[in-house]
Amino acid sequence: MATINATVTISSDISSYPTSINKTMTMTKSANPSVGLDETTGLRTKKFTTTTAAVIVEEDELTDAMAHKIYIRNTSTNRANFFYVAYNGSAAAAATAETIGKLYGGDWMLFPFDGAVGITVASSTATETQYLEYMVFADGIVAAKG
């Protein structure tokens, strides 16, 4: 059985009460939470040279399951360069995307994904080449896409 664990450690002194969070999550299937996720799209890197939005995960690429997890990282070391990350209905509907947020240089995110919509990203700059790294840990893959 495949086992995928994600761990996040956060420590902070920004308040009068120091915060320390250390959590581990085992990624499991939605229909059977005792079985680990066993499929992935593989680690992908996409090069951006324009601010044109691009779909990185198509809505029909994965089964409609609540257990998918998506990892996305902005590989830039320049904090001024960011990516908009958004949900959208299809590759053709980038204008109707619902923005999740901005992923600044060096930032990463891991979030649950149901596979029912696409994930779209757009670079904040066309003057500097940016690279985005991403991977889907899947409850089921419908078709291999590259």
CATH code, 44: 2.60.120.510
| In a domain? residue 128 | yes
| In a domain? residue 56 | yes
Alpha-carbon distance 8 to 16, whole Å? 22
| In a domain? residue 83 | yes
| In a domain? residue 55 | yes
Give which of 67, 57, 63, 107 is closest to 83, Cα–Cα: 107
Percent of the chain with pLDDT over 90: 38
Per the structure, the complete domain to which residue 76 belongs is given by 38-138
Task: Indicate whether 90 pLDDT > 50.
Answer: no
Longest dimension (CA), the chain: 50
| In a domain? residue 97 | yes
Residues 6+ away with beta carbon under 8 Å from 93: 118
| In a domain? residue 58 | yes
pTM of the model: 0.84
**Alpha helix ranges (H) inside the chain:** none
Mean pLDDT is lowest, of 14-18, 55-59, 92-96, 135-139, for 92-96
| In a domain? residue 42 | yes
Report the number of distinct structural domains present in the chain.
1
| In a domain? residue 28 | no
